[in-house]
Structure 1
């Protein structure tokens, strides 16, 4: 299994079909470990109900997960980001799984560095810490200094990782095939698809060359974002099992006291995290699928640093835009359009009759707007959806398993840093700004879908979008107005020109009141001279031929 570079369930199944003793012994070990833990819990409940054994039990669970290895450590890491699901005593122990795991032998680690880099430790680094400064589920990290003076982190993979992972993945997949139909889940497809997706990403995560490339792609996406820090990769000192990257000085996002002591506002850090997460999903389509606190730091200058890029995924352009529009539909409480977005995203099949689903969606999601993360969270939504998924043919596309994991983790971080943080107060202004600027044809199409319903222009929606977008400090109305004018005057904007003229006179009245309300919102930012300049700049962007072609159409529309 050491030679298997990419996840291949068929090859793994063939391998273990000839070595059943490996799998049987592993299954017995897992059952034995958790069996004794459950017996201990029951024993304490029966014979010492008055004694507080919570801390002892929590430590025992962490030790079991640690002994069982990377797969179970990953489960513990995911749970450690959910203070709304896990009791504080257990949470404190599970958080230790993020970067307080027992390291493996130094000699083994240094030998792996020498073998991977093809050079001695002294030739690669001027200094290196005698012991690891952090140990994670898949590797451990040393602090070092290059001969050129740069301070770096040296990430070394744990030994015999692939055989351990393949055995656990095989057991998970076999169990899903045998017992998946008895689980209280309604996924709409085989559970093995989600396990395969997890396996693919896990194999990508243990390929450090792939991780380095991911880091550089992520850095390129955020090169103009002053709030996000991505470490530099030193390829000369990196390989498939060793990664040397820039050392990041900062605090884990769970160290709220230290973050405050450094003069950094935890609310602003959470806001950066939510906004950068939205940018990953809706702008770049390339997102971090494992943003637990061990992988995220608040830097001393108030930025958020990402330090682990093993588990990433890519979204298609259409998926990005559909997610963006679904957020707007949720805020506008347009459950008809939201149900259609669920179809487009694959949560419902195209032949599904969505009419009976619309009132059910309204019941589940109707009270979500304006609630803090503590009230509006994925646990609440999941609980409410569980009954819905059995009554209606909802399913969870395998592609969205990582997205949901990423969102749940970020939600857990928001709860840890600021229980009253309102995620919609950050998410919706960002999405509204994205739609109003309309940088791409797809976004402009989504904007039209939002602004027009049943052939009528939705004045209130435009007013709401502008008002909320202006609450985002990064929203500059003047360039947006210029882009809007440029679009309206273009051939692509012919439909919108016609519809706007109809909207001004629909229902046999002139909609001056609505126009005045919108002008009151934007007048402070759009002085007449500024608006005139924006119009001139918009016209300059159009060719003379293009303008000449537009004018007759505009006249005809009148």
Structure 2
């Protein structure tokens, strides 16, 4: 009954803001046109359709707001008026009362605001679907940002997720395509990420990890966390000063190289995904600024680390090989990778899958980003995947969402950006580091501590194993085996010495080459 009540609320909200009429207007059939006229009869709206859609998503809660945030980056798929209004969802959700915010902060730390901060701004600088942010100054003079979780969020999210799980189960039972797309697993992934966002200590830890990962790249800045002032409901971090990336004219007037900014964004994304396997998965324009300070001029400033994507080594290797194969237009290798990974049935014909992938991807090469829509490419790939029963991998849903965000951001910064040409050298260099001598030396260095612990114990373990397996009647056999074991030990020692000499030789060559 609780789910039914929520469904009724959703239906009533859609009706209240005229979104039922908006949806029916998109259909061209005669029956749909008549239904549209019946539904819209006698109804007049003072607000434009984009405003009504934004207000409806805000009314329906954080999950729907996040859906609108993702849509707002796809200006190639949405009319300009709707995309412009949805962009306001990124950091302009109506704030909750400042007195409530103060009370939550004092409750979290058990101290009055005046004891915590030298000054505190009641007016929030940003208000999003999950939390809002206030500027403050610590007693020692450091300028900070205070992020406060919206009250009562857990109950709202739990209700919507329960409804989504129920709907996902219906889709799987009623549709073969639904089973292939694994909607219940996708909802489970979404559940995990949303609950992670509700724990601000986890967000602070994500920021600290990302800050360490990106420190050597010198392209993006991540705020430092004030750990003694971080709780599950409130976190305090270094205040970052920059210009929102959506304010393009202001950036140009400040002398920012917009084309370089677009290329840097691609580099940051691919570094996080393929080098670290740890990437910012909520990269809409509301979470990105650009520094104008002389010492960090032109660097990105990343904010809001509630949603972070992670990839295993197998995921990274599979994705990188696919990207490189795409860039080289080796569609046969793409087809083989899908079969090897188990994404499609083992009896799938490679040539047929290769032909389908070629038909989707070939028209989009050697074209600037303004003429390419990854959304349309993914849609066509989805249509092709239905024919070959491709299984969607839920762990990659966040990566797909982030890739669309990056495309939307790149389209705003530099429509002439060649996404493929910018990413190809990075991926080829990354693949070179995963195979060959450099990869071997790196892996030997990584495994050396384990070898050092395991090798001295190996003769004793072999001896004990042989002794346990041999009975009293096997004395002669045991002595022969022990003799053979001694020979094996000497051989192992020789191999270890040769291996260490080989590694030391490689290291020495590397050192001399850099002198």
Normalised TM-score (structure 1): 0.72
Residues 1:545 and 1:199: Cα distance change in structure 2 (over 3 Å): closer
In the alignment, the residues of structure 1 paired with residue 272 and residue 342 of structure 2 have an alpha-carbon distance, to the nearest angstrom, of 20
Question: What secondary structure does 1:379 align onto?
Answer: helix
Compare the two structures and name the one with the higher helix fraction. Answer: 2
In the alignment, the residues of structure 1 paired with residue 340 and residue 244 of structure 2 have an alpha-carbon distance, to the nearest angstrom, of 38
Does the 8 Å contact 1:66/1:101 carry over to 2?
yes
Match for residue 10 of structure 1? none
Aligned residues: 433
In the alignment, the residues of structure 2 paired with residue 404 and residue 150 of structure 1 have an alpha-carbon distance, to the nearest angstrom, of 38
Does the 8 Å contact 1:124/1:237 carry over to 2?
no
Question: What secondary structure does 1:341 align onto?
Answer: helix
Do residues 296 (structure 1) and 277 (structure 2) align?
Answer: no
Match for residue 29 of structure 1? 9
Give runs of aligned pairs for residues 330-369 of structure 1, distance below 5 A: 330-350=326-346, 352-369=348-365
In the alignment, the residues of structure 2 paired with residue 40 and residue 485 of structure 1 have an alpha-carbon distance, to the nearest angstrom, of 62
Give runs of aligned pairs for residues 352-501 of structure 1, distance below 5 A: 352-436=348-432, 438=433, 443-444=434-435
Question: What secondary structure does 1:126 align onto?
Answer: strand
In the alignment, the residues of structure 2 paired with residue 548 and residue 90 of structure 1 have an alpha-carbon distance, to the nearest angstrom, of 63
Does the 8 Å contact 1:322/1:344 carry over to 2?
no
Match for residue 58 of structure 2? 66
In the alignment, the residues of structure 1 paired with residue 92 and residue 175 of structure 2 have an alpha-carbon distance, to the nearest angstrom, of 33
Does the 8 Å contact 1:55/1:89 carry over to 2?
no
Deviates further, 69-78 or 25-34 = 25-34
Match for residue 98 of structure 1? 90
Pairwise CA distance, 1:377 = 2.5
**1:200 equivalent among 192, 196, 209:** 192
Pairwise CA distance, 1:91 = 0.9
Pairwise CA distance, 1:131 = 1.3
Give runs of aligned pairs for residues 150-161 of structure 1, distance below 5 A: 150-161=142-153
Pairwise CA distance, 1:298 = 1.4
Bigger Rg over Cα: 2
Do residues 310 (structure 1) and 302 (structure 2) align?
Answer: no
Match for residue 321 of structure 1? 317
Pairwise CA distance, 1:200 = 0.6
Match for residue 118 of structure 1? 110
User: 4+ runs of 1 displaced by more than 6 Å?
Assistant: 42-45, 52-55, 484-487, 546-549
Pairwise CA distance, 1:387 = 2.6
Pairwise CA distance, 1:199 = 0.5
Question: What secondary structure does 1:374 align onto?
Answer: helix
Match for residue 227 of structure 1? 219
In the alignment, the residues of structure 2 paired with residue 169 and residue 247 of structure 1 have an alpha-carbon distance, to the nearest angstrom, of 33
Match for residue 38 of structure 1? 19
Does the 8 Å contact 2:280/2:308 carry over to 1?
yes
In the alignment, the residues of structure 1 paired with residue 439 and residue 159 of structure 2 have an alpha-carbon distance, to the nearest angstrom, of 56
Pairwise CA distance, 1:284 = 0.2
**1:244 equivalent among 216, 226, 236:** 236
Does the 8 Å contact 1:372/1:420 carry over to 2?
yes
Unaligned regions of 5+ residues in structure 2, if any? 26-32, 443-498, 507-515
In the alignment, the residues of structure 1 paired with residue 372 and residue 343 of structure 2 have an alpha-carbon distance, to the nearest angstrom, of 21
Residues 1:96 and 1:420: Cα distance change in structure 2 (over 3 Å): same
Pairwise CA distance, 1:202 = 0.5
In the alignment, the residues of structure 1 paired with residue 176 and residue 86 of structure 2 have an alpha-carbon distance, to the nearest angstrom, of 25
Pairwise CA distance, 1:66 = 0.7
In the alignment, the residues of structure 1 paired with residue 96 and residue 332 of structure 2 have an alpha-carbon distance, to the nearest angstrom, of 55
Question: What secondary structure does 1:237 align onto?
Answer: strand
Do residues 279 (structure 1) and 271 (structure 2) align?
Answer: yes
Pairwise CA distance, 1:318 = 2.1
Question: What secondary structure does 2:301 align onto?
Answer: strand
CA deviations on 1:475-497 (whole Å, 9 max, x unpaired) are xxxxxxx969999xxxxxxxxxx
CA deviations on 1:274-304 (whole Å, 9 max, x unpaired) are 1111011100001111111111111111001
Does the 8 Å contact 1:291/1:409 carry over to 2?
yes
Pairwise CA distance, 1:119 = 1.5
Unaligned regions of 5+ residues in structure 1, if any? 1-19, 446-481, 488-541, 550-558
Does the 8 Å contact 2:173/2:179 carry over to 1?
no
Residues 1:546 and 1:170: Cα distance change in structure 2 (over 3 Å): closer
CA deviations on 1:129-164 (whole Å, 9 max, x unpaired) are 121111001011001111111111111000100000
Question: What secondary structure does 1:85 align onto?
Answer: coil
Question: What secondary structure does 1:153 align onto?
Answer: strand
Does the 8 Å contact 2:218/2:299 carry over to 1?
yes
RMSD value, Cα: 2.9
Match for residue 75 of structure 2? 83
Does the 8 Å contact 2:19/2:53 carry over to 1?
no
